[in-house]
Amino acid sequence: MEKTFVIGIDIGGTNTVYGVVDARGTILYSGSIKTGKHADIKDYITELGKGLEIVIDQVGGHEKIKGIGVGAPNGNYFNGCIEFAPNLPWKGRIPLAQLISESVGCIPVTLTNDANAAAIGEMTYGAARGMKDFIVITLGTGVGSGIVIGGNLVYGNDGFAGELGHTIIRRKNGRNCGCGRQGCLEAYTSATGVARTAREILELRTDESVLRDIDPDEITSKDVYDAAMKGDRVALEIFEFTGHMLGEAFADFIAFSSPEAIILFGGLTKAGDLIMNPIRESMDKNVLKVFAGKTKLIFSQLKESDAAVLGASALGWEAKEID
Amino acid sequence: MEKTFVIGIDIGGTNTVYGVVDARGTILYSGSIKTGKHADIKDYITELGKGLEIVIDQVGGHEKIKGIGVGAPNGNYFNGCIEFAPNLPWKGRIPLAQLISESVGCIPVTLTNDANAAAIGEMTYGAARGMKDFIVITLGTGVGSGIVIGGNLVYGNDGFAGELGHTIIRRKNGRNCGCGRQGCLEAYTSATGVARTAREILELRTDESVLRDIDPDEITSKDVYDAAMKGDRVALEIFEFTGHMLGEAFADFIAFSSPEAIILFGGLTKAGDLIMNPIRESMDKNVLKVFAGKTKLIFSQLKESDAAVLGASALGWEAKEID
């Protein structure tokens, strides 16, 4: 029987989303589970396996599935493990590809970084079609990146290249990051970083803001967005601060690989011009002269959940059965 | 007649070195001219052309030369121009490959960044033999880099990728850099950056140092090295400061491409452990946990002048005659 479908799984710090995808890139059936509520990896795999079996049945059973592609934080393309992922509940080295494969009758599984999967999705179906050199920056619970150079994803010597959320943007007095260090880009420009900025500004300043109506510990980046859309000055400044930092960082990324485009992906991109304008201004101001005006700054053209699942699913076509 | 030789030209901020190279990578004849003394590019090309004709004659004339490879700051592999090179006397965009070719009877010329040429030399003859993912950092008048990913040099979308000397290492109160911005790695960790650090420390502090016997405006990185070898405390601290900054920067570079090795090249590497020990300490302290202990830190295994000329010459074999 011809194997005509693949499965894409996107594992985020909060949610795990999966879907069955056909050869034209259509997601036929999908589902999701909460990533964070399973402190034990076995419980997580059990619940995920149940969900996968449902969508597998919907397209006609295991025989129809060519392979499974997984995008996960700190996912290693070379060995199928997630290793030391700061935003996931499981510590150390987890053989995730193997565990998922075993949970669904040994369908072959290929794993990569969730941001790399997004970059593959963008290259196959989105804003990076036809591009050979680009960087996808994912602005979600964390800040991830998928780097494509000469048409190939950059995996590096160990499979973990492209951790641009953990380059240092503030070397002095930097915020603590989930990775155990200080001053990482992620600590400032992830969705949670934006909420931290809000709490910091509200505590340091006394000017009015609709954000003061919210319990500081409960403020989210969505609250900041809603306030900014109402013209709240503090909320607008939070996006400016966040965007300026991203622009500074992007100027350094451009000095590394001189990409045709940097593509923004993930929850924070819903802020649109509120985040894009300060990024562009700061990137233009900070970039080395030889690169001025050369790198496009664009939003992902794919729906967030679709892109991650589609990108991961693309890996499913190259998944090989274990001998 | 078989074309059995290539010419490599290494253009540095101070000297231009060239040599005729055979297929086994032996430099048969070589020469050099001063780069900086020619404010007019035409004068420079005239003197360089005369020097090249001498070495060409020594191996039997133009018919013996397959091509010329040039490594030059801000050299663009794609169009053969140098563009906005901060450490060269010529401003704007200079069609260097074409000018050199015309000066020697239209032998084909291929151009790249001097640091890229060093990386090709290192991959072909040096410390990077057999490696597919590594970064060469050149510590000379400026700080350059040649990045190899998956066995290929990273040229980027415009031919200028790999300007790691112009990533920002100090965002607040950073030193002015020759590129017109502030806080670049090059402003601190080039040979001239080391001399600037010496001047700054001597002015800010009052403790004794043999460096105080030298006119501050005349201090060079060589003076700092000589003082450090005599055990001068201030000179040792200057190398520690420089090395720590490089280590911080390398930790970020590793987060980008996760290379098997970072290879140090250029004048400052003569300082040996004086610079290597603080780099290693700082890199290990600052690197993201997932990359800990994975990237080798090594010195170039080639003589400085040889590596640059050999690397550039390797491009000569792929040079094509203009139709």
pLDDT of residue A124: 79
Specify burial of residue B97 (Cβ count, 10 A radius: 0-12, 13-18, 19+): buried
Given pLDDT bands bounded at 50, 70 and 90, which one contains residue A247?
A: very high
- For A167, residues 6+ apart whose C-beta sits below 8 A from its C-beta are A184, A185, A249, A252, B252, B255, B256
Q: What is the pTM of this model?
A: 0.88
Structure tokens at B236: 């040792």
pLDDT of residue B320: 65
Position A280, amino acid: R
Please give the span between the terminal C-alpha atoms of chain A, in angstroms, as a whole number: 20
The predicted-structure confidence for B68-103, as pLDDT tens digits, reads as follows 999 998 889 999 999 878 778 998 899 999 999 999
- Greater confidence (A281 vs A120) lies with A281
- Kindly state the average pLDDT of the residues A154-181: 95
A297, A262 contact by CB (below 8 A) = yes
- Kindly state the average pLDDT of the residues A192-221: 96
Residue B180, chain A, CB below 8 Å: the answer is yes
Residue A193, chain B, CB below 8 Å: the answer is no
Mean pLDDT, chain A, integer: 93
Residue B297, chain A, CB below 8 Å: the answer is no
A77, A57 contact by CB (below 8 A) = no
The predicted-structure confidence for A83-101, as pLDDT tens digits, reads as follows 878 778 998 899 999 999 9
Mean pLDDT per block of 10 residues along chain B (323 residues) reads: 86 91 90 93 96 96 94 90 85 94 94 89 86 96 94 94 97 94 98 97 95 96 96 97 98 98 94 97 96 96 80 82 48
Q: Which among A84, A147, A253 is the nearest to B289, CB-wise?
A: A84
d(CA A212, CA A63): 56
Nearest chain B Cα distance for residue A51, angstroms: 30
How many A×B Cβ pairs under 8 Å?
A: 136
Residue B157, chain A, CB below 8 Å: the answer is yes
d(CA A16, CA A14): 7
Q: Which among A133, A160, A294 is the nearest to B291, CB-wise?
A: A160
pLDDT of residue A323: 40
> Quick check: A37 pLDDT over 80?
yes
Between β-strands B134-139 and B261-265, what pairing exists: parallel, antiparallel or unpaired? parallel
Cβ–Cβ gap A168/B252 under 8 Å: yes
Given pLDDT bands bounded at 50, 70 and 90, which one contains residue A321?
A: low
Share of chain B above pLDDT 90, in %: 78
The predicted-structure confidence for A99-143, as pLDDT tens digits, reads as follows 999 999 999 999 998 889 889 888 877 899 899 999 999 998 899
Does ipTM exceed 0.90?
Answer: no
Q: Which of B65, B59, B29 is nearest to B317 (CA)?
A: B65
Q: Which among A164, A253, A260 is the nearest to B157, CB-wise?
A: A260
Contacts of B294 in chain A (CB under 8 A): 157-158
Contacts of A150 in chain B (CB under 8 A): 149-150, 152, 154
Show the DSSP H helices in chain B as ranges.
Answer: 41-58, 96-103, 114-125, 185-189, 191-204, 221-229, 233-257, 273-286, 304-318
Residue B214, chain A, CB below 8 Å: the answer is no
Residue A185, chain B, CB below 8 Å: the answer is no
pLDDT of residue A24: 77
DSSP string, B149-211: ETTEE--TTTS----GGGSBS--SSPPB-TTSSBSBHHHHHSHHHHHHHHHHHHHH--S--GG
A282, A244 contact by CB (below 8 A) = yes
Contacts of B156 in chain A (CB under 8 A): 133, 149, 257-259
